[in-house]
Amino acid sequence: MTAADNPLLAPPVLPYRMPDWMAIRPEDYLPAFRAAFAEHLAEVRRITAARSTPTFANTIEALERSGELLERVSHAFYTVSSADATPEIQSVDEQLAPLMAAHVDAIRLDAELYWRVSQLHAQLDTLELSPEQRYLVERHFREMTHAGAGLDEAAKERLTALNQRLSSLSTTFERNLLEDTNQLAIRFDGIEQLRGLSDGEVGAARRAAADRDLDGYLVTLPLFTGHPYLAALQVRESRRRIMAASRARGSRGNAHDNREVVAEIVRLRAERAALLGYSSHAAYVTADETAGSPEAVERMLRGLAPAAARNATAERAALQRIIDETEAEPFALEAHDWAFYTERLRTQRFDIDTAALRPWFEAERVLQDGVFFAATRLYGVTFTERPDIPSYHPGARVFEVHDEDDSAVGLYVLDLYTRDSKRGGAWMNSIVSQSALRGTLPIVVNNLNVPQPADAQPTLLTLDEVTTLFHEFGHALHGLFARVDYPHFAGTNVFRDFVEFPSQVNEMWILWDEVLDNYARHHETGEPLDPGVVERLRASGTFDQGHATSEYLAAAWLDLAWHRLTPEELVNDVAAFEASALADIGLNDPAVPTRYSSTYFAHVFSGGYSAGYYSYIWSEVLDADTVEWFRENGGLTRANGDRFRSRLLGVGGAKDPLQAYRDFRGHDAEIGPLLKRRGLEG
């Protein structure tokens, strides 16, 4: 197939090398991948066929130049397969998964390539290299060794088979989850069943039903356990139905049941780890992260869990008192009641009704006058919408980003609304990676899953959705600002337990006076958010943190427990395994379910966070310490932004992340600010 037949193989013609989405058809992807695989293998063969002594230029730099077509095709496809997975795209994904795994192994397990990289690594102290080049040699050697390049051929053959099977299973897990999530959307016959929801939320439910040609109202499910609507829904049976559907995903005994998929993924990951010389998949993963070992992760989780559980128990007792005092027929608090009575308690203690704040969080204003405004004040960048540059879906908007001197930074794409073809949750990914070697600037995407209101109604966000937008935009800034020579280090290509740090830092601006006053305006009157409400929001910072921390730690512990199993430790009952693991760490409160149960834990079983879900709180230690630094140094200033950008965001993966942090902060992070933030100081 030639470029004339396949737009994915043609040189990019759109600005910033944006794929020509309007010309690409689902049937173009597999032929493009096959052509890109062949080209990449030929490029690597030219490296290994050289008879000259390995040098940085003829080995490492040549390797960095290789695979550009494959990267272009991959970024285009995986953007669509996550955000607009039509049946045609899902079919491609299933066929592609083992092919991609085999290709990746063909490169990183190549014995001749590994020999050349090893030769350079052994001579590092004698080579005249820049700091980025030296670190690049170290990382290629470490990653190839970690992947199994030093194994014998029989072991490599088994490893390749394991990787292909695991890739297929991850695709199956994600497909099952998407299908079951869509099937479990809850239909309500009458508006009375949705009492307590805003007009916009009711309109979104009506629109969701109409989109499927259904009568009534349809509530679709987010990725996590529960639903934002549980905080406002007054009808207890409606809350119960939503929570039950959420927790049933992937475990109903139907064609989309993920329990056997989970068990096989865990077993094969354990076998692969043993083949590579590690005691468990968790040991394998953490060996190449900042944590270093699963024991270090366990110490942190066990250190935080008792205080979190104690706080959650106290919170549950306070909620039960409200039920006993206010309900005509009191009942025992259950998981589906927690959010609703938490809002009542919040109102009682702090005179805050977070659901009532939504008119102040109109999505476009949050984006333009909050998210973009903070970035402009801090970093000097500006954002201009480019409707002339097509994206992969009509709902995805494209913005061009410029620096203060009007030089181009890259493109930012925002895909805000939920749809049946989009996987759950929120994320950032790259469409084009920055690299001076290749002469490319970045294109990054933020995906959220905000319910789309009925036509002519404004999109009013919850405070949690505002937080998610600021969070994901922190990832986007990391991807936009990194300036590296080599694509290996582009954007967010850093250790998994460091990648959440910049995104969490960006959340600080949500309630920063200068930012909040600029975006939190009533969508009809323009009235600013009452300063008294803002102060009470800040005062309530540790409110309900026992619940929030417990549900997160439960998921992180569940991930660790699964991935410390050996190949011989077979699991036949997923629910029983979960219960035993959560009891072990004291987080088995039925009113506080884990944020993700195994059968819908996409981060771990179809995403990149296996044995790494601890990363969020591990990174939050750095985040909380950084927030203290900003407060001590004047907050939202260009000087502070320039320091954070140049020493952290702009580094990408071209430096050890903890060294980059020390360069920024002046010392290692301290845990005190995190404990204070989450109310765990005692």
SS (H, E, C) 251-311: CCCCCCCCHHHHHHHHHHHHHHHHHCCCCCHHHHHHCCCCCCCHHHHHHHHHHHHHHHHHH
DSSP state of 655: S
User: What's the full length of the chain, in residues?
Assistant: 682
Helix (H, G, I), strand (E, B) or coil at 227: coil
User: Residue 603, Cβ neighbours under 10 Å: how many?
Assistant: 22
What six digits make up the tokens of 605? 């079983």
Catalytic residue among 201, 298, 472, 507: 472
Are the CB atoms for 491 and 430 separated by under 8 Å?
A: yes
Q: Using CB atoms within 10 Å of the CB of residue 681, give its burial: 0 to 12 exposed, 13 to 18 middle, 19+ buried.
A: exposed
State how far the Cα of 337 lies from the Cα of 339, in Å rounded to an integer. Answer: 6
Q: Is 472 tagged catalytic?
A: yes
Are the CB atoms for 370 and 519 separated by under 8 Å?
A: yes
Are the CB atoms for 224 and 211 separated by under 8 Å?
A: no
What six digits make up the tokens of 44? 């690597």
Helix (H, G, I), strand (E, B) or coil at 80: helix
Are the CB atoms for 107 and 113 separated by under 8 Å?
A: yes
Among the listed residues 471, 390, 374, the one whose alpha carbon sits nearest the alpha carbon of residue 431 = 390
State how far the Cα of 267 lies from the Cα of 395, in Å rounded to an integer. Answer: 40
Residue for token pair 């475990």: 251
DSSP state of 446: E
CA 193 to chain centre: 33
SS (H, E, C) 313-331: HHHHHHHHHHHHHHCCCCC
Spatial CB neighbours of 236, under 8 Å, sequence gap ≥ 6? 336, 337
Helix (H, G, I), strand (E, B) or coil at 226: coil
Residue 250, sorted as left (phi over 0), alpha (psi -120 to 50) or beta, turns out to be left
Calculate the dihedral angle through the C-alpha atoms of 463, 467, 594, 567, rounding to the nearest 10 degrees. Answer: 160
Show which residues are catalytic.
472
